[in-house]
Structure 1
């Protein structure tokens, strides 16, 4: 699919969804503001009355990876699974999911709502903008999808069929190999060698990594987004939409909130090296980011608990002590799972990550990366001490102070 044949394709296959008037077609990823890392063909089709997104799965991601010595191919069938995942999540949490219009399974294409009327969360946070509802909205979305696709709510046979349908083996492998084991087709950053040595030569880090990998692989509790970070969230002061659901598979209930935590910690670490032009040197904004993290964690636990009390199967409702036991185990796992993408991304280089690229001066950028890395190590190694949200926030704040002294 390309910009030259897309209009004729849409008019012949899906005329009911074609915007009115003369169409303007742009390829997302061609302009700098659209960010890197795209592994699909994405087009924005705009007319007089509205615009839509056309997404086609691509198999070869070498162009994105930028390496010639590692072959990495992904199944184009993930496009169909993403379409179904969007429909499923849209039924559970319609306020937080773009509308999907149609899918062409043969050509690995689907059409969905263009959410560019909202702003990209990563860019907004990197520019120092506050969104008071961010943490709570994300918590509601993640908790609702996790709960209503779990065996705590679904009949056991239904849950098993759902988990089998979204096995998504190749996309799971991306998480297991890239995020947990840090074996990706992306080159390490130019100054990543000392960090990689720490990760590979520290027995405690390797032991926790393998423990969490095994737990991740053997805990199919609910459908997870698996790639929810601030570049996959669009928002304004009232609304929020989550995109890019092609990784969907059954995993731990707390995995999505941990992955998003890693992305918010990235903003918090980068913010330590910036003033945002504020009289207080950016301290107020750093407090906001920490509060958003707290609202995400507390909100997720509260929302999941409330949904359990309201809609859990009767066998689970009769045992509130089990709910409390389950929830008490979430925070240590959230901390540990969050460390995995943190440590992985620190190796691949942070110069193109929006919040780090916004830091003035190479020395400060490197200091921010080291701080982010230290936060990841501490979340991993001290995760069993994380019993409350305050424990997590205290660890991050203390690490920020410690990093500033180095």
Structure 2
């Protein structure tokens, strides 16, 4: 692949994105190309480059040196682009069916050029519209099992794992998670985004509860110190594209070595929030609401069950440590992953209701009073599963707890 020499960083425009794609020889020099800036995320520029006659297209993603959602007052490292591209390449080695192919990356320009997934839909947007994805749970369960196992000491040579973990030191983006997921929502912090009518409920239910804070402190410490595997780091439904036949995971710029349960909990939390939001979105269609919410609960159950089953298969087939044949070790490991997953899911639910970045599932509810009611239920649910994570005995038990809040 062509490499670019003597280039310095500057944010791309539609014109320079087209020039870059031609410089990389991804299109012919005389091809008629169109570029559209399609990024709706918080941190990056995203361009779709398409050739008029053939329809061939690619995506160019470029990191900005600041948080797009806030502006230049919140500077961010461009190294996250390198981390994202390396994570995508590593994941493509393990699960190519669930990962976009990277054609080119440049750490100086902070760009990654990859597959265009426009034939798929963003899962968050589909779920809001009550679209059922028949393969979503199985695909995400397999994605999680393979990526989390093969990047850990259980499935990767321990020396190679230590070397690999050094390539994914990601302090700035980890700091965002540490603050916005595990700290700020549990205190009256200025980064929180709370309607004044909801604030008294939050103050009493979340900020004043010392037992809750103690559990969250333990979960934060786990996130800070438990370098078990290479995580996606931000596995929400807005980072997944899908249709009836395909599921593809994108945007691993938060990738770092952390606890196995974190990615699973993040995905489960987002399904939970969509589940609660459907009480409003489908309020006028009770039969459809019941059917779709049942589907969402099945997604939670099947995702965990597929992960557990596949993780067990990989554990037995490809052990990297002699102790992995010890009776009870696998069960103990899965039990701890499960408890961590529940706690992380609870933190993610709470964060999305009162933290800096909400979720469209809930924020799209127009009636403020009704939206706050959904947020109250979500906050109470998040709190309950955090406090009771050590006593929730199975994925079915977790689902039963979730249904109490619909």
- TM-score greater than 0.5 by the shorter chain: yes
> CA contact under 8 A between 1:78 and 1:247: conserved in structure 2?
yes
- Matches of 2:109 and 2:363 in 1, distance apart? 37
Q: Does 1:188 pair with 2:193?
A: yes
The residue aligned with 1:15 is: 25
The residue aligned with 1:403 is: none
The residue aligned with 1:32 is: none
In the TM superposition, 1:43-82 aligns within 5 A as 43-47=47-51, 48-61=54-67, 63-65=68-70, 71-82=73-84
1:211 counterpart (211, 218, 240): 218
SS in 2 for 1:280: helix
- Matches of 1:165 and 1:72 in 2, distance apart? 24
How many angstroms does 1:40 deviate by?
Answer: 0.8
Q: Does 1:388 pair with 2:404?
A: no
1:97 counterpart (99, 102, 120): 99
- Matches of 1:195 and 1:334 in 2, distance apart? 26
- Matches of 1:156 and 1:374 in 2, distance apart? 41
- Offset from partner CA, 1:290-340 (integer Å, 9 cap, x none): 111111122221121111111112514421410111112222211101111
How many angstroms does 1:188 deviate by?
Answer: 1.4
How many angstroms does 1:180 deviate by?
Answer: 0.5
SS in 2 for 1:385: coil
How many angstroms does 1:372 deviate by?
Answer: 1.2
- Offset from partner CA, 1:342-385 (integer Å, 9 cap, x none): 111111478x7332244463332221111111111111111111
The residue aligned with 1:336 is: 343
In the TM superposition, 1:69-148 aligns within 5 A as 71-148=73-150
- Offset from partner CA, 1:79-138 (integer Å, 9 cap, x none): 011111100000000000001101122211120011111111001111011112211111
Q: Does 1:24 pair with 2:34?
A: yes
Shift of the 281–91 alpha-carbon distance from structure 1 to 2, 3 Å rule, reads: closer
The residue aligned with 2:46 is: 42
> CA contact under 8 A between 1:17 and 1:101: conserved in structure 2?
no
The residue aligned with 1:397 is: 403
- Matches of 1:20 and 1:277 in 2, distance apart? 53
- Matches of 2:79 and 2:349 in 1, distance apart? 28
- Matches of 2:227 and 2:328 in 1, distance apart? 22
**Structure 2: which 5+ residue stretches go unaligned?**
1-11
Aligned residues: 388
Q: Does 1:354 pair with 2:363?
A: no
Per mean C-alpha deviation after superposition, the further-off stretch among 319-328 and 358-367 is 358-367
Shift of the 265–158 alpha-carbon distance from structure 1 to 2, 3 Å rule, reads: same
- Matches of 2:224 and 2:382 in 1, distance apart? 21
**Structure 1: which 5+ residue stretches go unaligned?**
30-34, 401-406
SS in 1 for 2:66: coil
Q: Normalised by the size of structure 1, how large is the TM-score?
A: 0.90
SS in 2 for 1:147: helix
- Matches of 2:299 and 2:283 in 1, distance apart? 18
> CA contact under 8 A between 1:179 and 1:344: conserved in structure 2?
yes
- Matches of 1:353 and 1:230 in 2, distance apart? 10
- Matches of 1:214 and 1:236 in 2, distance apart? 37
Per mean C-alpha deviation after superposition, the further-off stretch among 92-101 and 1-10 is 1-10
How many angstroms does 1:389 deviate by?
Answer: 0.7
* Alignment RMSD: 2.1
- Matches of 2:312 and 2:125 in 1, distance apart? 32
- Matches of 2:129 and 2:309 in 1, distance apart? 30
Q: Normalised by the size of structure 2, how large is the TM-score?
A: 0.90
- Matches of 1:389 and 1:301 in 2, distance apart? 11
How many angstroms does 1:233 deviate by?
Answer: 0.4
